[in-house]
Structure 1
Amino acid sequence: MMKVFLFSVLLACSWQAAAFRPMIQEEKRAAEYVNPFIGASTNVRDAGAYHGLGKTIPGATYPFGLVQLSPNTITGGDNGSGYSDEHESIEGFAFTQMSGIGWYGDLGNFLVMPTTGPMHTNSGKLENPDAGYRSRYDKSSEHARAGYYSVYLSDYRIRTEATVAQRAGMLRFTFPEGKDSRIQIDLARRVGGTSTWQEIKVVDDHTISGKMICTPDGGGWGNGDGKPDYTVHFYAQFSKPLKNYGVWSVAIPEGQSRKREFIESEAFQQLTAGAEIHRQVSSFEGKHLGFFTEFATKQDEVVLMKAGISFVSEENARENLEKEINDWDFERVLQRNQQAWNEALSKVEVASDDEELKHIFYTALYRTMIDPRLYSDANGEYMGGDKKIHQTGSFQKRTIFSGWDVFRSEMPLLTLIRPDVISDLLNSLITLADESGKGYLERWEFLNAYSGCMIGNPAISVLLDAYKKQIRNYDLEKAWQYAEESSRLFGNAKYGYVPGSISSTLEYAYTEWCMAELAKALGKTTEEEYYRKLSKSYQHIYDAEHRSFRPKDEKGNFLPWPENGRLTEGYGCVETNPFQQGWFVPHDIEGLVQLMGGREKAIEELDYMFANTPTDFLWNQFYNHANEPVHHVPFLFNRLGQPWKTQYWTRFICQKAYKNEVKGLVGNEDVGQMSAWYVLASIGMHPICPGDTRMELSAPLFDEVTLRLAGGKVFTIRVNGQSPQNTYIQSATLNDKPYTKCYIDYQDVVQGGVLELTLSAQPNKNWGVGE
């Protein structure tokens, strides 16, 4: 009986311990909530528009790191990420990627693919993977989290895992038994085209190094129109010695175009399939090369490969690898990566019982920490805009500034949680203007390229916003000089508007206001008056008869009114229509309201916009959250005396336009902007006008939000009555004192403190309307 009793007690205790274990186990850390598959689709059909969905990468990344190691399923087309979830085969794993961009993409260099059996030197295509080295994969085997990716390649029976450091990456392959196992590297491959020249050498029996030259002639960014011109240097090592190895070389005909139209063609597949094989060569160079190493493997044998990447030199690529991944311990590299991501994501901590909500939030925060990425090496060297090697001083050189997108939410978010990145970015843009001889601040910078992509002068917005927020670790006089030159080259000065363009006129009017504000701060009275006048340029193209902005020709005549009126996309607008673009006067909302006929009329127009917006928030003619120009619009109700509508619509958008799934982004991620909007809106603070330190308040989605700010300060947002139904702010206190404003100043946040909000299911139409 005693044994039975003791067994029963032990069983009961064991059951209780098992039942209690989930309650006492440590709560998930932030990086564990990241789902890199959110937005990882370029699917046009599902998006309902040619822009596609999120276009994010699912692979391994490091916070603002130079290297991203990600699977690629496609080369060519408007597929900047090189990956789309619905594709059923993978062509390789690239060490450089762009994430969340529209236009024809770039990078996707140093494409590594493990294979078995007969070797292919061409990639094959999605519709016929057997014709090349690509492989089908088991979708259920595909896993990703911050800093890690894995998948099972079905055709080769190889498990592939990836992780990265800042400037280096590591792949771990688990092979089947075989005599003809292989790792092959397509050195010519590039997401939006091909590199135009490659060089490779065998350094020792475990190491190769080389470079890949990528020019506009090879397509890439904007199919060459974005002026991409960079060289990727690599230093790669294999855990298994190089015994049977070689290079394949494709005889590219003289004069043959290397842009995406060619590399997407069947002729390209046939040409690359007929490559010449050169075995046991110690070095090689050419227009289209690949490298392979062959070996026998036992069942489940693990083979590793690691590579350092540099945009400066092979020697720097070697140093990057040796400093960041100096052994073959994959788990240690992954652990360091996880620590880095947890530290980065700890800048904003949210509390909620809703696990799905935390997956969406921390993935969004993660996406805001991919770009602007490192461009300088571990030794501080970087390739300048003059094609010369430079040394960083008090900043780290960064690249990929998607200005037109990110000045709205992404950059304001980083001023709060990573002011050092803002400082680095401004230094990078200023030094580029200096070194290149261009003398102005580029609007969409890509690896030193002045791509000219999109419109406006967004770098001026970032400059003013940083200056107003005391982020000033850069040469201010040079910054002013280059901002002035930017405004001179691109602005409203000549006509008082931009002929043919509503979008450009309004965007320039805003950054001309930024110039006026900066001039005022610097005591430049004449310049302030000049730019203040130009900031009113938007008034010159408003047509009271049609109650809409309209494009004018050079003689001042309105262009013919289209059949569909202000809902006509492209009528004087870039990726918008006049109804959407017309709200972009963030610096002079009162002036805009007067043009529209007063506050009531403006509210009526806003109500009309949201009432006609589809609840899936996919691309549409009204509130088109899939694209940036309207991202400030839900917050305008705060400025028009109806803050409860801002509270309602921001929460509704957060709930409907963002999901924890592949289709969880309704439009292109646009280098962090789509996610940054969510981060700020979901914690209840978002600017309308970067450069103005006012941030609009709305109802957070979380029980508590903790912002860890520079200098060790902490700002906390506590929410009483949090629930999906309680959409509206009833009352607020700031540092235990009643707070009745529907906005908060940046300086009040960065000083630290506590904002406490009480929510309800019914709006309090008296709160937040008095000031």
Structure 2
Amino acid sequence: MYKFLRCSLAVISLLSVAASLNAQAPKKLTQYVNPFIGTGAVKGSLSGNNYPGATVPFGMVQLSPDTRDEPEWDAASGYDHNDNFIAGFSHTHLSGTGAPDLFDILFMPYTGDEKTRAGDAKQPGSRYGSRFSHANESARAGYYQVRLDDHDINAELTATAHAGFHRYTFPRNSSAKVVIDLNHSLKKPNFGCQVIAARFNIVNDHAIEGFRVITGWAKLRKVYFYAEFNKTIKSNDLVDGGTQYFNQQLLNGTDLRAILDFDASDGIPVLAKIGLSTVSCENAKLNLDAEIPAWDFDRVVAQADALWENELEKINVEGSEKQKQIFYTALYHTFIQPNNYADVNGDYTAIDYTVHHAKDGFYSTFSLWDTYRAAHPLYTLVQPERSAGFVNSMISQYDAYGYLPIWQLWGQENYCMIGNHAIPVVVDAVLKGIPGIDINKAYETVKSSSTTDHPGSPFKAWEKYHYMPENVQSQSVSLTLEMAYDDWCVAQLAKKLNKTADYEHFMQRSQYFRNLYDTQSGFFRAKDSDGKWASPFNPLQYGGNGGNPYTEGNAWQYYWYIPQDVKGLIGLTGGDTKFTAKLDTFFTLNSKPGEVNGNASGFIGQYAHGNEPSHHITYLYNYAGQPWKTQYYVAKIMSELYNTSSSGYAGNEDCGQMSAWYVFSAMGFYPVNPASGVYVIGSPAMQKSVISLSSGKRFTILASHRSAENIYIQSAKLNGKPYTHTYITQSDITNGGTLELVMGPKPNKSWGVNASDRP
């Protein structure tokens, strides 16, 4: 009895120690990633427009369910959390954009009998799609799973950089069919969308290959695939429109589907591996063989998880479980793109539609009007090698096309949005000393792209009028302000290279914003080519993407867009007191006309966090000596406009920008001028943030006593010394060290208020 009791106590003791050690073991950071955040709006709001499917960092493949047969603007990523239907699983998607495209090479498993297997070939979703429930759906970094209710199939997805991997568990002894749809796309004919050409080729009884050439938001994209299955293809129907071809090897057309039959009687899941390429089916197979040589689905899931863990570990934070879920999902979203779509051998189809080669990869998906503001500055800190790849990919477009990207997708330029915002990305990377970039070539590209007319940027008019007249180019006020900032960036690189004449010229152009300042109304207003103010004028009236002087915003929101010269803007406003008073009005003026643009959401007064023109504005109080108001509004946005639900973002996530704002702000600072190397301090959400730099150094931000109430900075130290500046610099971070912010429940109105302490 005693011996038994002693042994039992020993076992209990060992179990207690094991439980204690397990409780103390740190959670993997990937466990905080929730891909469903931002996938579906609650009524009357935006959500993020994200997808929940499988991808790896900066990978070409984004394998995710499409809940619409023909995705449109309201489900630009292909998925809406409010839907209960899945049309299939396509291999390419956009993350959080305001416009739909891609959705390439849709696969869908289903069950049926011989009489219905071809179905209504023109409506594949109605025949092959399935209802589903979120109760039977799950996702994590690199993995997605759903039960297809209409077919009783469990579908699982994972991905590598250039390939997708599917596992379909069919009901035992059921028919097992897989549809491949080469006509699935955004709603036709939006953006002139149509399939120009497509092909299927049955390679053998386990493999099929093919391609499609499709035009849409990105023009004439070539997408090749090579697919292998773990089971024999018993039979096939190749379908072109309404015409079926049974057990045929080859089919060309424009409206193609393949229906492949498999044996599921053994209970073994059907596995499908699909490689993609922009060059050829041979390269698609090369990508597949290199990245998924075996049939071990779970191993590929584990590899994707490990890739994500490695990237997420570049920033370690301490906060609540909810805060960490928002933070690491935001970091995950930021690292989805830009996408390296060069093949494993370096081949890719360039903007001139010929095959180019890049030994270090070629990146596309540049949503630059959004991402230059915070996502790219974040990449320079924690993805410096990739930042060089991004810049060199932009320069390669310049070499082939004549100017830098505006909005580049699948290697093609779609000219979406305004300005020339590859320029601040290139200049920022060069000025920060990112290795691997030819500085003289970089300067050639930014200067030429600032002097060559192209859609959206008529530089001859810019030089002639010293502002953009509305009757010459619509969106003229926004364009004037944004081009002035880009010119400031060119000037800084000219200065570094001792090109004095260029520096002075572009600095002069960077002040052209003054020519649209109306002293009577106190706003930047549109003029025509004769210098007459456009009227009537309502600073609350919104513009969209043309036909109005303001781009996706109004005069209130664009008033603050002078990041290169905030002191000059303060002067125009009438000094610190009038500047902060106008900011106060901006954040409290709730009047909104009926014409609010669909991109405007997440309102705090006139501030609209759901769209990028507002993103820097909370930090402007620091420039005028009232940093506690910056702290208040930054904390308010983080606590109220980000959450862990499907409506977790206040607007479109926009390829990482909405997420990058949170990542920076939660750590405690933000790049108001993205190319300046200066970060303006706000109110950190995290108790501790550690940035691990590629040099091996670390920069730590401590927020002592941070809580939901303690949002105000009481005092600060940088590397152990008292610190009163309301900003830090790139060198402060890259040199390594510690910024300690002591937080409290009430503003300290004596910290950071002196002119010498301001950015």
Give the TM-score taking structure 1 as reference length: 0.90
Do the aligned residues in 1 keep the contact of 2:238 with 2:248 (CA within 8 Å)?
yes
Residues 114-170 of structure 1: per-residue CA shift (max 9 Å, x gap): 000132555898xxx983211001220110010000000000000000001111110
**Distance in 2 of aligned mates of 1:621 and 1:611:** 4
Letter in 2 for 1:183: V
Whether 2:270 is the aligned partner of 1:303: answer: yes
**Distance in 1 of aligned mates of 2:560 and 2:618:** 11
- Note the C-alpha offset of 1:46: 3.1
Do the aligned residues in 1 keep the contact of 2:587 with 2:604 (CA within 8 Å)?
no
- The within-5 A match list for 1:135-284 is 135-193=130-188, 194-215=194-215, 220-221=216-217, 227-250=218-241, 275-284=242-251
**Distance in 1 of aligned mates of 2:552 and 2:376:** 21
Do the aligned residues in 2 keep the contact of 1:189 with 1:195 (CA within 8 Å)?
no
- Note the C-alpha offset of 1:21: 6.2
Specify the alignment match of 1:533 in structure 2.
508
- Note the C-alpha offset of 1:173: 0.5
**Distance in 2 of aligned mates of 1:732 and 1:242:** 67
Specify the alignment match of 1:717 in structure 2.
701
Deviates more, 1:590-599 or 1:667-676: 590-599
Whether 2:353 is the aligned partner of 1:387: answer: yes
> Closer, same or farther in 2 for the Cα pair 1:620/1:453, shift >3 Å?
farther
- Note the C-alpha offset of 1:687: 0.9
- Note the C-alpha offset of 1:433: 1.6
Specify the alignment match of 1:627 in structure 2.
611
Specify the alignment match of 1:603 in structure 2.
580
Determine which of 397, 412, 415 is the counterpart of 2:362.
397
SS of the residue aligned with 2:644?
Answer: coil
**Distance in 1 of aligned mates of 2:164 and 2:57:** 13
Do the aligned residues in 2 keep the contact of 1:106 with 1:192 (CA within 8 Å)?
no
Do the aligned residues in 2 keep the contact of 1:196 with 1:288 (CA within 8 Å)?
no
Specify the alignment match of 2:651 in structure 1.
667
- The within-5 A match list for 1:114-133 is 114-117=109-112, 118-120=116-118, 131-133=126-128
Specify the alignment match of 1:586 in structure 2.
563
SS of the residue aligned with 2:44?
Answer: helix
Specify the alignment match of 1:485 in structure 2.
448
**Distance in 2 of aligned mates of 1:130 and 1:425:** 37
Whether 2:525 is the aligned partner of 1:550: answer: yes
- Note the C-alpha offset of 1:281: 1.0
**Distance in 1 of aligned mates of 2:730 and 2:744:** 26
- The within-5 A match list for 1:252-651 is 275-298=242-265, 300-352=267-319, 354-393=320-359, 395-435=360-400, 438-488=401-451, 489=453, 490=457, 491=459, 492-500=462-470, 501-562=476-537, 564-569=538-543, 571-612=548-589, 618=602, 622-651=606-635
> Closer, same or farther in 2 for the Cα pair 1:746/1:9, shift >3 Å?
same
- Note the C-alpha offset of 1:528: 1.1
> Closer, same or farther in 2 for the Cα pair 1:185/1:427, shift >3 Å?
same
**Distance in 1 of aligned mates of 2:146 and 2:641:** 28
Q: Runs in 1 of length 4+ with deviation above 6 angstroms?
A: none
**Distance in 2 of aligned mates of 1:596 and 1:586:** 15
Do the aligned residues in 1 keep the contact of 2:681 with 2:726 (CA within 8 Å)?
yes
Letter in 2 for 1:65: G
Residues 13-70 of structure 1: per-residue CA shift (max 9 Å, x gap): 588468646524x2211111100011112x48431xxxx4311110001000011110
> Closer, same or farther in 2 for the Cα pair 1:590/1:134, shift >3 Å?
same
> Closer, same or farther in 2 for the Cα pair 1:642/1:300, shift >3 Å?
farther
> Closer, same or farther in 2 for the Cα pair 1:122/1:442, shift >3 Å?
farther
- Note the C-alpha offset of 1:295: 2.5
- Note the C-alpha offset of 1:9: 4.2
- Note the C-alpha offset of 1:654: 0.7
**Distance in 2 of aligned mates of 1:552 and 1:566:** 18
**Distance in 2 of aligned mates of 1:207 and 1:86:** 36
> Closer, same or farther in 2 for the Cα pair 1:8/1:467, shift >3 Å?
closer
- Note the C-alpha offset of 1:472: 4.7
> Closer, same or farther in 2 for the Cα pair 1:279/1:568, shift >3 Å?
closer
**Distance in 2 of aligned mates of 1:97 and 1:751:** 38
Do the aligned residues in 1 keep the contact of 2:347 with 2:355 (CA within 8 Å)?
yes
Specify the alignment match of 1:109 in structure 2.
104
RMSD: 2.2
Letter in 1 for 2:27: K
- Note the C-alpha offset of 1:377: 0.7
Letter in 1 for 2:418: I
**Distance in 2 of aligned mates of 1:649 and 1:566:** 21
Letter in 1 for 2:157: A
**Distance in 2 of aligned mates of 1:407 and 1:130:** 38
**Distance in 2 of aligned mates of 1:766 and 1:502:** 37
**Distance in 1 of aligned mates of 2:12 and 2:397:** 69
**Distance in 2 of aligned mates of 1:29 and 1:546:** 54
- Note the C-alpha offset of 1:633: 0.3
**Distance in 2 of aligned mates of 1:210 and 1:408:** 39
Whether 2:53 is the aligned partner of 1:59: answer: yes
- Note the C-alpha offset of 1:612: 3.6
Determine which of 676, 694, 699 is the counterpart of 2:683.
699
**Distance in 2 of aligned mates of 1:124 and 1:709:** 53
Letter in 2 for 1:389: V
> Closer, same or farther in 2 for the Cα pair 1:467/1:19, shift >3 Å?
closer
**Distance in 1 of aligned mates of 2:664 and 2:441:** 31
- Note the C-alpha offset of 1:522: 1.2
**Distance in 2 of aligned mates of 1:348 and 1:417:** 8
- Note the C-alpha offset of 1:512: 1.0
Letter in 2 for 1:363: T
**Distance in 2 of aligned mates of 1:303 and 1:445:** 36
Do the aligned residues in 1 keep the contact of 2:601 with 2:651 (CA within 8 Å)?
no
Whether 2:663 is the aligned partner of 1:652: answer: no
Q: Give structure 2 stretches of 5+ with no counterpart.
A: 189-193, 471-475, 592-599
**Distance in 2 of aligned mates of 1:123 and 1:589:** 59
Do the aligned residues in 1 keep the contact of 2:146 with 2:154 (CA within 8 Å)?
yes
**Distance in 2 of aligned mates of 1:481 and 1:123:** 52
Do the aligned residues in 1 keep the contact of 2:172 with 2:265 (CA within 8 Å)?
yes
Do the aligned residues in 2 keep the contact of 1:567 with 1:579 (CA within 8 Å)?
no
> Closer, same or farther in 2 for the Cα pair 1:690/1:15, shift >3 Å?
closer
Q: Tell me the matched-pair count.
A: 723
> Closer, same or farther in 2 for the Cα pair 1:764/1:496, shift >3 Å?
same
Q: Give structure 1 stretches of 5+ with no counterpart.
A: 222-226, 251-274
Specify the alignment match of 1:253 in structure 2.
none
Do the aligned residues in 2 keep the contact of 1:381 with 1:391 (CA within 8 Å)?
yes
- Note the C-alpha offset of 1:595: 1.4
Specify the alignment match of 1:268 in structure 2.
none
SS of the residue aligned with 1:46?
Answer: coil
Give the TM-score taking structure 2 as reference length: 0.92
SS of the residue aligned with 1:711?
Answer: coil
- Note the C-alpha offset of 1:2: 4.7
